[in-house]
Amino acid sequence: MLINLSELFSVEGKAKTYTCDLEMDCFHSPEGDYEVVDKSPVVLEIVNEGNRVFAMRGEGEVILRIPCSRCLEPVEVPIHVEIEDKIDLKLSDEERARELNEQFYVSGYNLDVDRLVGNELTLNLPMKVLCREDCKGICNRCGTNLNYGTCDCDTRSLDPRMSVIQDIFKQLKEV
């Protein structure tokens, strides 16, 4: 959803509250794409602080389906998004880049709420998602999910000093 900020230009101190429905069905993050399972409308208050500077405050809730870090089973992760930022429309794109003020969600006088929330989601993603605290993960040899069963793979750790002898046996098997 786009919010046109030009309607707030007229009076310094003017505030308006917007209730915006998110249009995103998939969240694109650096780690991959995650399905948006549920989302609540984002309530965003924008205040004209004068001199083409706007203050934003808002919040919303998004539930993403993210794979477990150990077993890759899908997990629904609720993320509460809190937004608090300032928009300075006096700055040009070059000045924003110099100041590392990357407000790519502002284009001209329009504020893209989906991009704003996507930016906040990127900052609030959990480092590691687990389906449960005692998740056993998957077998690194056969791929069996160890939460549901066991496998017959050899899980002994070999003595690293014996790796040279193991290499000899592998060469003999190849012949």
- Is the separation of the CB atoms in 8 and 16 below 8 Å? yes
Tokens 């709420």 — which residue?
A: 113
Sorting pLDDT into bands at 50, 70 and 90, what band is 166?
confident
Residue 149 predicted with pLDDT over 60 = yes
Distance CA 145, CA 148 (A): 6
| Three-state secondary-structure class, residue 107 | strand
pLDDT score of 134: 94
pTM of the model: 0.74
Q: Are strands 26-29 and 15-20 parallel, antiparallel or unpaired?
A: unpaired
pLDDT score of 59: 94
Sorting pLDDT into bands at 50, 70 and 90, what band is 92?
low
DSSP per-residue letters across 6-55:
GGGSSSTT-EEEEEE----SEEEETTEEEEEEEEPPEEEEEEEEETTEEE
pLDDT score of 130: 95
Sorting pLDDT into bands at 50, 70 and 90, what band is 87?
confident
